[in-house]
Structures are given as C-alpha cells and as structure tokens.
Amino acid sequence: MKRVLSVILALSILLSMSAFSSVAYAAEYVAVYLNEKLIDFPSTDARPQIISNRTYVPVRKTCESLGLSIDWNSKTETMTLTRDGVTIAHTMRSKIVYVNGNAVTFDTPSINVNNRILMPIRMIAESIGATVEWDDPTRSVHITTNNNSNNNNNNSNINNVNLAIVNSISVENNTVNKNENAKLKVICSGDTTSVKFVDASNNSKIDVISKYVQNSDGTRTFEYDYKCVNETKENIIATIQAVPGIDSNFNENTSACKSVSFIILNKDKTEVDADAEYDSDYLISCKLTNSKIQTDDYAKVKVKTTSDVKKVKLVSTANNKSVVISDYDEDSDGNRNFSGKIAMTKEGNWRVNVYLYVSGDYEEEFESLKVSVSDDYDDDSKSNDLEIIDLWTNNSYAYKGYESTLYVKTSTGVDYIELLAEDQDEGEGKTMQTPDEKYSNYYYWEFDFNVKHTGDMKFKLLAFDEDGEKVSDSFTLEGRNASKNEPAVIEVDQKTNSLIEGETCKFNVTVTGGVDRLRVTRGTSSAVYDEEIKSTSSTTRTLTIEFEVDDVNEDYYFTAYVGDNYERFKFRLTGDVEEEIRINDVKIESDKISEDEDVELTVTTSNSAYRVWIEDSRGKQISKIYKTPDEEKKNELVWDISFSPIEDGRQTFTIVAQDENKKNDTWDFRVTVK
C-alpha cells in the first residue's frame, strides 16, 4: 500500500491570505446589524472593528450575509463579488471598486490584519445600493438593503431555459497584454446549448457562441477568445460574465451566471521582453536548483536580496499561477535568503518570473528564469541531490506540553534529518534516521516534536547526506496555553493506519475540559461526526471517536465547542492511506503488431494496486505478474507492461489490477496480430 500525500491548495482566500503581510492596528470591535438583525461573526475569525476612524469588516461573513457570491483571482489579487445583476471587482490594498465596470473610489483601502482580509464596510454595502449608518451611543453599524424582489418577474416565464446553468468560468492567463486574446473557458450543465458573454462594465453583449465539447461527466465546455482592448495608460480590470442559454433563450438568473475578472495590461506583446536585462539594486542573486524538471514537479528557486526586500513572488508562465515567499533566513551581512517553489503543470519551455516586494509594492521589472518541463522524463536524470522539497504542519499553532507533527518531503539523497528549536545548535536537536516512506524519487518523513512554550517559536530543519553536507529550511509555530474553559482541540491521534474510502476510522482526540460538543467535517462544511459531550472540571481529556472516511484526499476539521464559542483544528489523514482499487487509464503503444513483436502498454491505477497482469479472452494469465510500479504520481501508480500474444488475428485481452485484499478491477482492450 502506498501513502497519499494530501495536496494543500491554497484556494480559500478568506481563510488564509498569506500573500499579504500582516499589518498591526489598534482596534475597537463593533457590532454590525443587517436590516436590524445582528450579524454573528465567529469569535475565531476576524471581527468588525474601528481602524483609523473607519469601520472595517471581514469579507467572507459580510458578503455571505449580504447575499454576495465571491470569486478570487490569486494571481491578480482581485476579488469579484456578484449579486442580483451587480458585479463588483476589487484589487486588494486598493481604494477603488469597479461596480459593473465603473470605478468608485473610497477614502480607505482594504487591508490585511493577522492574515485576514478586511474591507471598509461602505466599500461593500454601498456598492450594492445599501445604506450604512453609524450609531455612536451603541458603537454599532446598521446596514439597510432594498429587499424588493424581482422574483415575480419570471414566474410566467419558467421553462426549459432554467436548466441552463454555468458551473464555472475561468481565464487561462490572469494578466493579458492589450490587443491579445484572453482565453475563456466556461463549463455548463448538460442542457446548455449556447453561452452569451457580457461586459459587466456596461452590461453590453460581447458575443454568443454555441460550439461546445461534451464532457464525460455530462457537462459541456465552451471556449472563447476575448479580444483585450485597453486604451488607457494604466492597467485595467476586465470583468466578463457568462450567461447560459438554450438556443436563443438565456437564463438571466444570477445563480445561473458566473463572472471572471482579469487584468488587461497597458502594454502589448511587443513592449514586453522577458529576455531584457533586469538590473535591481535589491537583487544579489537568483537561481534555479534544477532547470529541467518533470510535469507536475516543482521549479525551485533560491533568491538572495538586500534587507529592503520584504517578500518575493514567483510567477509561472506555464499557467500564470503565483506563489509568494515571505519567510527568509538572514545572513551575517544582513542579506536575506528566500527559498521557494512553484508547480509546473505543462510540458514545454517556460519561465519562472521573480518579483521583489520593496517599499509597499512589487517592482514592475523582474528576473526571468528558464525552465524545461517534460512529460517523458528519463528516470536516470531524476535528481538525487540533497534537498528539502517541502515541509508543513497541520496548523499554524500547537499547545504547550503537547506534541505537534512536522511533515517533510525530501530528495532521496537525504541520509537523516535534524530538527532544531530556536535555542539549539546543530547536533543538539532531535534527529530522525529513517523516513516513514521511501518512494522512487523522494522520501516522506513524519516528525513528532514537543511544544515547550507559548508565543512564536521558530524551528530549523536540517537535512544531511552521507557525506555530511546539509541543507536547511525553517518554519514558525505559535505555542498556546490550554485553558479548560476555552474551546480547543489540543491533539488528534489517528489510530486506524490503513484506510479505504467508505470504511470507518478511529481517532483519539484531546480537548479542553470545558468542551461540550465535538464536530468533525470533511473540508469545512460536510459533517461526518457531530456529538454533544459532557464537560468536566479537568484541564484536558481524551475522547475516542469513529467516523466513515469518504474522501482520503481531503483535509478534515475537528471543531470543539464551549457554548457558542468554538475552535477549529485542521487534520490530514496519515498512515498507509489507500483508495479503492481502480484502473484509471491505459495507453497502448500500437494495437497492430507483427507476430514476433510484444504488445507494450502503460497502465495507470489507483495507489492501492498491489499487482497487475494480463489475461487472454479465456481468463488465462499470459504475462508475468507485475508487483513494482514504474512511477508514482500523487495518488496514482504507473506500470509499464509487455506480453507476447500466442495467436494471430484480432484478439481481446484483459488487464487485471488487484489490491492486497484481492479485490480486482479490469480493463479490456483489443490487439490485431498480423
């Protein structure tokens, strides 16, 4: 059985916005009422507060209360809010919002406080036509909306067009040069036969298309090239809405439509030269650890800067995805060393563009590094260098006196690792000699360590090879005290090590004594366990719970309640996690061969496959039994198989994949032997 490493996508903009540096303000918390009803902001999230004589509110809860849906573009740091025909686009740290494309300027920008995005309340409410009033005696804010409903307008017009729905709209590149095309992709319900594109700035129709590709799940994909025009001297935000339809009738309901925002640069392609020499007073050195990598692997960058640089952003030209690096090590000269990585998801020759954050913004110019990405990667060229590929903890905090777990992924050249606390030197830390899992191109380690005090704790991880050479990486963890009257999930210990989707898993969960309810969700909303429990007078206690695991790749959240107060603890499943046995894909080199040739094929299975072989039409095994996959890709295994057919003519063969419990999945294919 193989381990599935959960992939943390950083897709929830309102729960984790590490792309912005935290700003410290002295705050006064206030109450916010919507149509005279108090909005209940969770105590564990950001709170409405007075900052610089302006009322700021957390975006997610406020938008949910106002009925606004949220889309987030991490590359452009742009938020798109929609409700009842109103589309609001806003770029973080700006004072401007675009309401249906029209710029509205406010006197204060959105900000980041403790990794939470806060916006001025008027910036959100007044953009949808609501009124905002301040009640000084009660120190509270009152929002009043126009609740006139237009539902009756469509009562007489409900027909099949309501079956047309846009599931998603995306843009290939988040920034586009003027006079170039933005490639839009729209995925719709299976009933949709046409899509209308609308410019949200003036609600004008751009075009209607009816050509689509039918997807295997029943949905339909529409693609459209939007010509980007920018006649200004600044970069502008374009917001395009997709309206689904059946023939010439369109479903204009807000819930059926989706919008996407992107930036149109004020430069065209001829003005952008990636090979132009970049000369910055703040950059000392910038290099890739490996310029040739495999698809879905990471391009890893090391950047040395002066102390003026606060953070570094990496942007891949393969898909315009970006990663921000805010942690750094400072050398004796005061220079800063940033190390980061970015996933390269497409084959080809691409670049990683490196931007430096100086004086409150990223420099317009950037360093550009060439990366060659290949789908057909020679095993002999895989790097066996000394490298810490990735490290992470379940949460950004842990409790004093208890253990936390560090998860580490290294190259196969690592002999052992050592974890140093902030007061320890090399040789004084805790070491680990053997990885938990060894894969063909990396090692996986689970490192338990004690949390010794409260407050911020900085740790350094050292990885050594057989010759004593070492590399390092660091992380920071917040230590907390456990109070019996405060809700807290202190520790989660998974007791079931072998998992298959649909089976039951057992956990020991340590919580504070005052906890009277424990809830477990897959993701943040789908509950898999929810029980009231009796609080105790002890500081902590440990509960044994069980629940069915229906998705081994998802993060799970353990939430402890004391009355209405709660704390949420993120936890990922570990141990020998496997999925149900399944053959995902088969590629045959040629389905027509000569009688003296072998049939060669590549079989991709779920990670639970233990052995694979070929049978003929009579069920007789005609290949050897393969027990070692040739490649491991995330939660899949890849097997290169060959066999010699005995008879001539058109024949049917069966691929059999089997797990350790002798459960099978099969795949039939045909080959003609001349």
Supply the CATH number for residue 419's domain.
2.60.40.2470
Residue 269 in 3-state DSSP? helix
Same-domain status, 573 and 587: no
What is the pLDDT confidence band of residue 148, given thresholds at 50, 70 and 90?
very low
- Cα 178 to Cα 171, 265, 350, 584, 633, distances in angstroms: 15, 6, 21, 41, 38
Tell me how far apart the alpha carbons of residues 653 and 614 are, in angstroms, rounded to a whole number: 7
> Could you give the C-alpha distances from 590 to 93, 668, 669, 672, in angstroms and in order?
56, 15, 11, 9
Domain end: 560, 577, 594, which one?
Answer: 577
The residue among 421, 453, 480 that closes a domain is 480
Highest-confidence segment of 191-195, 233-237, 501-505: 191-195
Q: Are residues 228 and 243 in the same domain?
A: yes
Is a pLDDT exceeding 80 seen at residue 272?
no
> What is the mean predicted confidence (pLDDT) over 70-87?
78
pLDDT of 403 strictly over 80: yes
HSE-CB at 618 with a 13 A cutoff on CA atoms is 4
Strand partners, 400: none
The DSSP secondary structure of 318-368, one letter per residue, reads: TT--EEEE---EE-TTS-EEEEEEEE--SSEEEEEEEEEEETTEE-SS-EE
Q: Binning pLDDT at 50, 70 and 90, where does residue 21 land?
A: very low
Mean pLDDT of the chain: 82
CA dist., res. 132 & res. 97, Å (int): 17
Do residues 502 and 446 make contact, with C-beta atoms less than 8 angstroms apart?
Answer: no
Instruction: Mention every residue, 6+ apart, whose C-beta is less than 8 A from residue 560.
Output: 487, 488, 489, 511, 512, 515, 517, 518, 566, 567, 569
Give the pLDDT confidence score for residue 150 in this predicted structure: 39
Note whether residue 78 is domain-resident: yes
Q: Does residue 18 carry a pLDDT above 70? A: no
- In a domain, residue 19? The reply is no
Q: Are residues 125 and 32 in the same domain?
A: yes
Which has the higher per-residue pLDDT, 138 or 276?
138
Residue 440 has a pLDDT of 67
Which amino acid would we find at residue 56? Y
Q: How far is CA 376 from the centre of its chain?
A: 26
Q: How many CB atoms lie within 10 A of CB 54?
A: 16
pLDDT of the residue at 501: 66
CA dist 653 to 345, 622, 659, Å? 33, 9, 20
- What is the pLDDT, as a whole number, of residue 96? 87
For 605, the domain range is 583-673
567-614 pLDDT tens trace: 888 887 765 556 678 898 999 988 888 877 889 999 999 888 889 999
Mean per-residue pLDDT, 29-36: 88
Number of domains the chain is built from: 6
CATH code: domain of residue 549 = 2.60.40.10
Half-sphere CA count of 293, side-chain side, radius 13 A: 22
Asked if the structure places residue 229 within a domain, the reply is yes
The residue with greater pLDDT, 270 or 6, is 270
Q: Quick check: is 530 in a domain?
A: yes
Strand pairing report for 576-577 and 599-606: unpaired
Q: What is the pLDDT of residue 13?
A: 33
Residues 349 and 448 in one domain: no
Q: 147-161, 200-214, 343-357, 481-495: which has the minimum mean pLDDT?
A: 147-161
Query: Do 400 and 447 sit in the same domain of this protein?
Result: yes
Share of the chain above pLDDT 70, in %: 87
Q: Do 318 and 249 fall into the same domain? A: no
Lowest mean pLDDT among 145-149, 519-523, 524-528, 621-625: 145-149
pTM of the model: 0.37
pLDDT classification of 71: cutoffs 50, 70, 90 = confident
Clarify whether residues 336 and 361 are in a common domain.
yes
Query: Are residues 37 and 124 both part of a single domain?
Result: yes
Q: How far is CA 323 from the centre of its chain?
A: 11
Task: Evaluate whether 384 touches 305 at the Cβ level (below 8 Å).
Answer: no
Say whether both 423 and 534 belong to one domain: no
Reply yes or no on whether the pLDDT at 384 is more than 70: no
DSSP strand E in 607-663: where?
611-615, 631-633, 636-643, 649-658
Compute the C-alpha angle 119/125/130, nearest 5°.
170
Residue 18 lies in a domain: no
The per-residue pLDDT for 19 is 36
Q: Which of 211, 246, 271 is the last residue of a domain?
A: 271
**32 — pLDDT class (breaks 50, 70, 90):** very high
Average pLDDT score over residue span 415-442:
87
Give a yes or no: residue 128 inside a domain.
yes
Q: Is the dihedral of CA 205, 251, 193, 218 positive or negative?
A: positive
Domain shared by 610 and 564, yes or no: no
Residue 587 and residue 519 share a domain? no
Least Cα distance to 424 among 469, 468, 396, 459 occurs for 459
Residue 377 pLDDT: 44
The answer as to whether 632 is a domain residue is yes
pLDDT at 371 over 60: yes
Average confidence (pLDDT) over 44-50: 82
**Pairing relation of β-strands 367-374 and 292-294?**
parallel
My answer on whether 350 and 396 are in the same domain is no
Among 34-48, 86-100, 285-299, 374-388, the range scoring the smallest mean pLDDT is 374-388
CATH number, domain containing residue 265: 2.60.40.1930
Q: Is residue 2 part of a domain?
A: no
CB neighbour class for 551 (10 Å; exposed up to 12, middle 13-18, buried from 19): middle
